[in-house]
């Protein structure tokens, strides 16, 4: 949990709407994320959590509303998409590592291709980041030689290699065996504590309690609750969020 800087939000999601065909998936969704804040999004499957993250970094265009990043309106502006992809790191449920590249090479790829960094410099960054995610000894292993928890930590390191200003995590531990969840959450919590601005879809309430500044509850495309961690865990919880929590805990 970080000290919140109450200046202009780093990321402002304002009244975002999104439909797929005639299905309205996101309904007037608004979330502010201040620099250094960690915001956790919870909610039932199909409630639109992934779609919301995908709208933020323009993997899916929003149909309505606005997204501001560092005060700039980046809503569906193709010119800002490459910049956003650089400055917003994303971690997916299924790791999505390049299977033909080693752990180190997965991390080196974007710094070399996108930032034009030398192989030598990129390798130094990969070495430091593998240390950071606590698997320095796995640098030369391919993804299929790594456990799920190790693969996800490489995916986090790969995202960090671009020195993002925000990290988006979409259920980063839900594909993992239970014994590997903690090692991934520990890395995420450490990053949050160091001030990495983060928007995290997860149902790991232990992580939320430890790392989140705010908790957002979504249901059927709507944001039902957006509470400080203190209020949320202090029991000031919307009844629908309470019912959801009772199911998952």
Contact partner at residue 15 from ligand ADP, Mg ion, none, CB < 5 to 8 Å by partner kind: none
71 binds, among ligand ADP, Mg ion, none (CB under 5 to 8 A by kind): none
Count of CB atoms situated within 10 Å of the CB of 25: 21
Quick one: 84 exposed, middle or buried, by C-beta within 10 A (0-12, 13-18, 19+)?
A: buried
Assess 58 for contact with ligand ADP (CB under 6 A). no
Least separation in angstroms between CB 21 and ligand ADP = 7
* Binding-site partner at residue 47 among Mg ion, ligand ADP, none, CB < 5 to 8 Å by type: ligand ADP
**Eight-class DSSP state of 24:** E
* 50 lines the binding site for Mg ion (CB under 5 A): yes
Measured at the CA of 153, the angle between CA 150 and CA 154, to 5 degrees, comes to: 90
* Range 102-121, binding ligand ADP (CB under 6 A): none
| Binding to ligand ADP in span 14-43, by CB under 6 A | 20, 25, 43
DSSP 8-state class, residue 236: -
Stretch binding ligand ADP (CB under 6 A), from 44-52, 131-139, 173-181, 202-210: 44-52
In this structure, what token pair is assigned to residue 40?
């956790």
| Residue 27 interface partner, choices ligand ADP, Mg ion, none, CB cut-off 5-8 Å depending on type | none
The closest of 36, 35, 12, 34 to 211, measured between CA atoms, is: 36
65 binds, among ligand ADP, Mg ion, none (CB under 5 to 8 A by kind): none
Residue 173 in the binding site for ligand ADP (CB under 6 A) = no
Query: Nearer to ligand ADP by C-beta: 7 or 22?
Result: 22
Q: Please pick, from the candidates 3, 15, 19, 46, the single residue that binds ligand ADP as defined by CB under 6 A.
A: 46
Give the total residue count for the chain: 249
Binding-site size for Mg ion (CB under 5 A) equals: 2
Q: What is the DSSP string of 163-204?
A: --SEEEEESTTTTS-HHHHHHHHHHHHHHHHTT-EEEEE---
User: For residue 75, which of 147, 13, 149, 132 has the smallest C-alpha distance?
Assistant: 13
Task: Kindly list the residues in this chain that would bind ligand ADP in the complex (CB under 6 A).
Answer: 20, 25, 43, 45-51
Task: Kindly list the residues in this chain that would bind Mg ion in the complex (CB under 5 A).
Answer: 49-50
């Amino acid at each position: 949990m970080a000290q919140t800087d109450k200046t202009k939000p780093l990321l402002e999601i304002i009244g975002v709407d999104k439909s797929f065909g005639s299905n309205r998936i996101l309904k007037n969704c608004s979330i502010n994320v201040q620099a250094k804040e960690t915001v956790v999004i919870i909610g039932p499957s199909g409630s639109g959590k992934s779609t919301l993250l995908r709208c933020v970094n323009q993997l899916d265009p929003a149909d309505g509303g606005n997204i501001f990043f560092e005060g700039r309106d980046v809503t569906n502006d193709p010119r800002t998409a490459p910049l956003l992809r650089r400055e917003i790191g994303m971690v997916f449920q299924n790791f999505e590592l390049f299977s033909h590249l080693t752990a180190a090479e997965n991390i080196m790829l974007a710094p070399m291709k996108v930032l034009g960094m030398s192989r030598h410099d990129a390798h130094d960054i990969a070495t430091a980041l593998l240390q950071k995610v606590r698997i320095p000894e796995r640098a030369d292993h391919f993804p299929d030689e790594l456990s799920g928890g190790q693969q996800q930590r490489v995916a986090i390191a790969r995202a960090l290699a671009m020195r993002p200003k925000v990290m988006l995590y979409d259920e980063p531990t839900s594909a993992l065996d239970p014994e590997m969840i903690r090692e991934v959450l520990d890395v995420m919590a450490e990053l949050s504590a160091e001030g990495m601005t983060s928007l995290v879809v997860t149902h790991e309430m232990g992580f939320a309690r430890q790392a989140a500044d705010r908790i957002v509850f979504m249901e059927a495309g709507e944001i039902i609750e957006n509470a400080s961690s203190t209020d949320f865990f202090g029991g000031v919880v919307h009844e629908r969020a309470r019912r959801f929590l009772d199911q998952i805990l």
